Structure 1
Amino acid sequence: MKAHPITDYPYRRIPVLAVALLLVIMQTVLMRCYTGADWLPSMMDGITTIGWFMALAYLAWFIVGTVSMYRMNIIVSIAGILFWLAGSFIVCDIMVRIVGIAYIPFAPTIPFRLLFGIPAWIAILLWYHLQVVEETALQAEDFTAPEAEKAAPLPQEESINRITVKDGSRIHIIKVEELLYIQACGDYITLVTPDGEYIKEQTMKYFETHLPTENFVRIHRSSIVNVTQISRVELFGKETYQVALKNGVKLRVSLSGYRLLKERLGI
């Protein structure tokens, strides 16, 4: 089973929470304007129904990420919306019948909910499919790369023991041993340390050839990790792996990176 693209990548959690909060605000305001209900029931409706929506979206990955059948994806799309509507009805019914909050009938809000929910649900499923396609492409790249290119390490240059990062008028000096890992980010790289993250305009190849080889290994085309920070290596998917660092971050490992990592760790 593929790891979830949100929970296994901590840097995505804050944007997802921000999107969920935005959806809650949008639904609360629009429901208030659409139904003329008070702010309190509109807000309760928004929080609970969007929470239920996000829970369904989270669970949908375990179907989309493992089953690529076209019919199954259609079933997931329809079932997801139906389950969301059913949960929304239960929420509204509880507010009216059990809590005793005055609220309009559920049926007139269905068109609005569909207009609001269907685009959001489709966007989530499309993003999931993009993650699957990206993962498949990365696996294909590892399988088709020439074996000689994978096996032959780059010539090692003189090792560096510190890295300087200019941040406006300040210059940060980072000791190499303080590095947890390096992540590629377009034309830049992100240096991750216990004290924070620093962005530097530099290539991954430079650090691959200048960092001490006994402590650093390039496990993926977008990641270089400090092996002293690895707590475990675990299966990520079919014939793919990921490393879990001591701070809880998980990084994907390519097939060629896994071979280098095994050599470096002596496993």
Structure 2
Amino acid sequence: MLEESTERADAVVAKRQPRITHRTLEQFLKTMDTTPEVIDEEGQQTNMVLTPTQQCSETHNTKLPTNASRMVIKPTWYVYGNALNTEKFEDCLYDQSAGGIIVDHFEPLVNEPDLFQLSSGGRRILETPNAGGNSVWSEVLSYEVLHQVFGAELKNTETEIQYVPGSKITDYSVMFDDHHIGVSVVRIINFFDLMGKKYKAVFTPEYAKQLLYKKLFGVLASSEAVIDKWEKQILHIWTTSSSTADIIVQEYWKIPKRLRANTLVYVTHATNSEWLF
């Protein structure tokens, strides 16, 4: 019995060792059944979600029935959305075998990002060089929302996280109580001339599918290769459009379950936030 227990424990440790099993999405897909999961009629929500600006459509509530809204107001911004989002967030966060998707809306109360009142963690992300790109404010505000709405505390910034060489990377990691969670941040851009408020391109279900496949694989790959293991990841997607959020939710439930795995997808529709993108 002792020998069997030791063997099982060794197997668990081996499984959690940092490594890179699949270097590309194509390699990963060859090992799995990509048949979409279809939601039956009973899983569809028919009631419209009511928000302060009445912008949420019924697809934001797929598998999350409620017709009430909630608003979390901070000194320089506020977040609003489904009244059950906080409960759903926590349920997904603490279940290492569960994925899920939630949509909230973000509205700044200041005209310039430099006027935001930041926590020490948000300030640390802002002032620490990242691994490249112009996404600093999307990462800072991602943390501020997770911190001030859901209780996250910053653990490591992007350049402080260590991986097996050649790994995909994650933007930062946080602690929720005693739970270590990675966070990857994505901005949906190039579909709007933000200042002119004109469409430059149409965000299609096919693009949403490609985005989700790519980013969810990246989450799984970085989680496998990270040295200081976290329990799961949050994929935080910023978008400029409520309709884009709808399409992401619709396509999310068609993604193979193994690719959704235990990633919590948190979609935030940000208005009056051109500098974020």
TM-score > 0.5 by shorter chain: no
Considering only CA atoms, is the larger Rg found in Structure 1 or Structure 2? 1
With structure 1 as the length reference, what TM-score do the two structures score?
Answer: 0.25
* Larger RCO, structure (CA 8 Å, separation 6 or more): 2
The structure in which a higher percent of residues are helix is 1
